[in-house]
């Protein structure tokens, strides 16, 4: 029985484990900052609070950028198809979805690479 190219890691498992841990931390961090950003938007546009904190969007933007880098790094190491990679990258733009996707992908990668 031949294995698919997706099953063959191109890097040592230790590097995959390290990349997965970085991805997990950034997925959670991005999700938390995105929730904070939604809170800020609710305060600003629905509750009409004067001068809500406007720095939350900047912090979330930088955290999301770092999330993109860590996710791309993991995608290359585990050979995710481009469509799956883009979907996981975009998951960080929907509140809670990035965290849910992280849980699913972590479970799959731990099983796939015996992490």
Give pLDDT tens digits for 56-80.
999 999 999 999 999 999 999 999 9
Tokens of 91: 């998951």
Assigned domain for 115 exists: no
Please answer whether residues 16 and 78 qualify as being in contact, where contact means their C-beta atoms are separated by less than 8 angstroms.
yes
Averaged pLDDT for residues 14-37:
96
4 pLDDT more than 60: no
Q: How many domains does the chain have?
A: 1
Mean predicted lDDT score pLDDT of the chain: 91
Averaged pLDDT for residues 3-28:
83
Write out the residue range of the structural domain in which residue 18 sits: 12-110
Assigned domain for 44 exists: yes
Q: In this predicted structure, what is the pLDDT of residue 30?
A: 96
Q: What angle do CA 1, 111, 69 make, to 5 degrees?
A: 110
Q: In this predicted structure, what is the pLDDT of residue 6?
A: 54
Q: In this predicted structure, what is the pLDDT of residue 115?
A: 85
């Amino acid at each position: 029985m031949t294995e698919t190219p997706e099953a063959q890691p191109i890097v040592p498992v230790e590097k995959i484990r390290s990349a997965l841990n970085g991805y997990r931390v950034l997925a959670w961090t991005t999700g938390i900052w995105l929730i904070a950003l939604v809170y800020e938007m609710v305060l600003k546009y629905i509750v009409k609070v004067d001068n809500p904190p406007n720095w939350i969007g900047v912090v979330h933007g930088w955290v999301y950028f770092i999330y993109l880098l860590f996710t791309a790094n993991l995608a290359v190491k585990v050979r995710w198809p481009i469509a799956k990679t883009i979907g996981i990258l975009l998951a960080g733009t929907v509140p809670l979805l990035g965290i849910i996707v992280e849980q699913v992908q972590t479970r799959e990668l731990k099983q796939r690479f015996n992490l």
